[in-house]
Chains A and B, each alone.
Chain A
Amino acid sequence: MYKNKLRSLDIVFIFLGGLVLLFIISPLLGMFLSTTPIQLFETSKDPEVLKSIWLTLRVSFLATIFFAIGAIPLSYFLARSNFRLKKLINGIIDLPIVIPHSAAGIAILGFISRDSVLGKIASSVGLNFVGHPVGIALAMAFVSIPFLINAARDGFENVPVKLEKTALNLGASPVRVFFSISLPLAWKNILSGLVMMFARGLSEFGAVVIVAYHPMITPVMIYERFGSFGLKYARPISVLFILICLIFFILLRALTKEKEHRNA
C-alpha cells in the first residue's frame, strides 16, 4: 500500500519536474533547431561577431581575475572573523543579485561618469570608462562578484581552523599558512566561484548596455540584431555564443574535476 502510494507520488513528481525541464530545454532546443549549419557557419565568419565574442570573453575573464585579488581575501576574512556587522556585510555582498541589473547599470554609470571622482581621475589620464572595456568590466564584476565571494567564503569555512593552527604551530607564518593550507584546501570552491563569476559576467546584458553600448559585447549585439533585423538574425549569433560558452564551461569543469581527482 505504502509502496504504491510512493510510486504514484513519484509519478506526479517526475511529471511536474519533467515539465520544468522541458521548459528549460525546449526554447533552447527550438533555437538550435531553427538555426541551420550554414547560418551558423556564416555567422562564425562575421568579423564583427567574432570581435564581439572575443571582447566579451576577454573582459569577463579579466574582470574575474582582477576582482578575485580582492574578493578572495575578503571571503577569507568573512569566513574566519566574527564581528558585529558581519551579517550586514554578507547582506551587502548579495545586493547585486537582488537588484534589477538595469538599476545596477545606472549606479555603475554614475560611479564612473565624467562627473564622478573615479571618472575625473580617469579623464585626467585621458580615459573615459563610459563606453570603454573597463566600464564593461566594472558592470560585469558588479553583478557577478557575489558568486565568487559566496563560494570562496563557503570554501574557507570548510577548511578546519585546526589545520591552520597546526601549520602555525609547525612554525609557518600566517602568510604561508594562507597560501599553503587555506587556499589549496578551499580551492575547489574558489575555482567554482571563479567559473560562476566568469559565466555571470559573460551573460550580463542589463548593466552593461547602460554603461557601454559600444564596444558591443555579445549579449548587446544579440539585442541589437534582434531590434534592427528581427528574430531570424539574432538566432545564429545566440546559438554561436551559447556554444562557445558551453565549450568553455565543459573545459573548466573538466579542469575542476581533474583537480578534485588529484586531491582524492
Chain B
Amino acid sequence: MLELKNISVKLGEFQLKNINLQLEKGDYYVLLGKSGVGKTVLLEIIAGLIKHRAGQVILNNVDITNHKIQNRKVGIVFQDYSIFPHLNVWQNILFPIKKRKISKKRKEELVKKFAELTNISHLLDRNPQNLSGGELQRVALARTLITEPVCLLLDEPLASLDVQLKNGLRNLLRKINHNGVTILHVTHDYEEAIALSNKVAVVHEGEIIQKGLTKEVFKRPANEFVANFTGIKNFFIAEFLPENIAKINGKIQIKVSNKANLQKGRIIIRGEEIILSNNKIESSATNNFKGKILQIIPYLANYEIIVDIGIELSVVISEESLHILSIKEGYEIWASFKSTAMKVI
C-alpha cells in the first residue's frame, strides 16, 4: 500500500537515516518519537513537500518519489491545521473539489457529508478565526478527507487539544480508519499509539529503532529507550543467578518466576502491579523492599510514585491510596510485587 524504502534526508542539524516502513491497506500506523526527531519531515517527504536525498516512496505499487505534490493522492493534516484564513469553513472544505467537473449539487452534498462525518455541520458558515483548536482540526480533517486520499498523514493531531476534545477526536480517527482509510499518524505520545494504532514504529535519532504490531512493541520493547518511551518505566538489565534470582545493578536481588535460561536479560515490571504499604505485609508477593519516596508525580486519574529501593521504581497508585497511606516525598515505604508481575524479555 504505502511503502518507504531507505528514505534519507538531512535538514540542518538533524537527519533521517534509512527509513523503511510498510503500511497495509486499512492500517492505523503510529510513528512514535520525541519532538524534533524528524517525524513531521517524514510525512512531508511522503506528501512531496520536502525533497529527500535518497530513497523511494511507493504508493499502491507506483513509485511516487518524483510525483508532483498535487498528484500524490496522500492527504496531510498538519499540527497547526493550516486552515486558509481568508475562507470560511464551507469554502475551506470545498476547496479541494471546487474545480472538479462535477455538478454544484454534488459538491454541496460532499461538503455536507464530510462536515457531518467530522461533526462540524453547525460551523459551516463560520470564519476560521472564530474556531477552537479542536474545531479547526476537524475542518482540516474534513477538507483532506473530501479529496478521498489513498493514505491519510496526520501530524500530531491530538497534541494541542484538551482531554475531552482528545477523546472525541480519537473516536473520529477510529471511525475514519474503520471506514477504510489507511492512516499514518506521528506523535510523541505513546498513549495515542495504544489507543489508536494496530502498528507502531519508534523513531530515535533519525532512525526507526523498532517497529511492528503495537501489542508486540509495547510488550517487548527492543531497548531501554523504547521501553521508557512506550511508557514502561521499570525496565532493568539484570544478571540472573541460580534459583530464579535476578541481580539488578549489581545490588538488588529480585525473585523472578522464569528466567528462560538466560544469564543476562531485561526485566520489566509494570508500575500498576507494585503494591505500596507502610509496613511489611504478608502476601503472595515474594519481593518486598523498604525504600524511600523520591517523587510524587500527579497524573489525571492517578499518581506516579518514584520509590528508591536501591533502584528507582515507578509505582502507579490511585489518589485514594495516596491519602490512605499518607504518602509524602522523603517518607519510607514498602514496595511489594509478585515474581509473576515481572516480565523477563
Contacts and interface: CB of A to CB of B under 8 A. Distances in A.
Interface of A: 160, 162-163, 165-174, 176, 180-181, 184-185, 263-264
Interface string B71-102: 01011101010101110000000011001000
29 contacts: A162-B80, A162-B82, A163-B82, A165-B47, A165-B69, A166-B76, A166-B78, A166-B82, A167-B95, A168-B49, A168-B70, A169-B72, A169-B76, A169-B144, A170-B95, A170-B96, A171-B96, A171-B147, A172-B70, A172-B95, A172-B99, A173-B70, A174-B70, A176-B99, A185-B85, A185-B86, A263-B85, A263-B86, A264-B129
B98 to A, nearest CB: 8
B185 interface: no
Contacts of A173: 70
A80 to B, nearest CB: 14
A168 B76 CA distance: 11
A162 B78 CA distance: 9
A67 to B, nearest CB: 26
Nearest to A161: B49
Contact of B49 (A169, A181, A264): A169
B84 A163 contact: yes
Contacts of A168: 49, 68-70
A210 to B, nearest CB: 43
B150 to A, nearest CB: 13
Interface string B136-176: 00000001100100000000000000000000000000000
A250 to B, nearest CB: 25
Contacts of A174: 70
Contacts of A165: 47, 49, 69, 82
Most buried by A among B47, B75, B86, B129: B86
A184 B95 CA distance: 14
A169 B86 contact: no
Given A165-B49, A264-B129, A172 B96 contact: yes
Contact of B84 (A167, A169, A176, A264): A167
A173 B68 CA distance: 10
Interface in B217-234: none
For the complex of A and B, 6 pairs with smallest distance between CB atoms = A170-B96, A168-B69, A166-B82, A165-B49, A168-B70, A184-B86
A171 B70 contact: yes
A37 B129 CA distance: 50
A170 to B, nearest CB: 4
Contacts of A263: 85-86
Nearest to A180: B95
A167 B78 CA distance: 12
A196 B173 CA distance: 50
B136 to A, nearest CB: 13
Given A169-B47, A169-B49, A172-B95, A181 B84 contact: yes
A163 B70 CA distance: 14
Contacts of B84: 163, 166-167, 181
Contacts of B80: 162
Interface string B49-83: 10000000000000000001110101110101010
A181 B82 CA distance: 12
Interface string B36-52: 00000000000101000
